[in-house]
Chain A
Amino acid sequence: QVQLVESGGGLVKPGGSLRLSCSASGFIFSDYYMYWIRQAPGKGLEWVSHISNSAPTIYYADSVKGRFTISRDNAENSLYLQMNSLRAEDTAVYYCATDCLNSICYWGQGTLVTVSS
């Protein structure tokens, strides 16, 4: 079955950097668009970024543009999010997810990023 496992979250100071990883299994990773979606504590869902399956086309929310970089390694079935210049408002659970059925159809369990001094 489809499995998405995020890692790399933790506590970081404002202005710091963090790299999130997502390991995928149970499907042909290279066939699918992939997403990062985040959810601040007690809040709703926010799209962060997504990347096409190959010769990648990349998109970012305005809130992270210029600070975050999404990438993927199809040989390693892995998705990444490099986060720089982190702010308190970036504190959230970050979910890795796949695109299918004109929706976001499979989600990982998320990794918590806390930006605090």
Chain B
Amino acid sequence: EIVLTQSPATLSLSPGERATLSCRASQSVSSFLVWYQQKPGQAPRLLIYDASNRAPGIPARFSGSGSGTDFTLTISSLEPEDFAVYYCQQRSNWPELTFGGGTKVEIK
């Protein structure tokens, strides 16, 4: 099983600040890494696929980078609606899919 470890668990920032979220895989997942955003009481929403491709309709302030075992989701300037939980997910080990434990981005 490929384990994804997200850090930090919680990120306390102010609107307008830059957010940097990390996802580390226990073994290489190549570029088969996905990022989702989830707000309270809502289903997850796809943000980034194949490590660095923004999904349709996702603002340019969201960017993904990395390959192999180390990945980063960056939000260049936080908007009020960006405070949420973010999950990474791998599909390198198809058909088994695994998710990271999540990073909560909260208002400081």
Contacts and interface: CB of A to CB of B under 8 A. Distances in A.
Interface residues of B, number: 23
The secondary-structure label for the interface of chain A is strand
Given A45-B44, A45-B89, A103 B99 contact: no
Interface string A46-60: 110010000000010
Interface of B: 32, 34, 36, 42-46, 49-50, 53, 55, 87, 89, 91, 95-102
A101 B46 contact: yes
A44 interface: yes
A102 B50 contact: yes
B33 to A, nearest CB: 9
26 contacts: A44-B87, A44-B100, A44-B101, A44-B102, A45-B36, A45-B87, A45-B89, A47-B96, A47-B97, A47-B99, A61-B96, A101-B55, A102-B32, A102-B34, A102-B49, A103-B49, A103-B55, A104-B36, A104-B44, A104-B46, A104-B97, A105-B46, A105-B49, A107-B44, A107-B45, A110-B43
Interface of A: 44-47, 50, 59, 61, 95, 101-110
B50 A50 contact: no
Contacts of A104: 34, 36, 44, 46, 89, 97
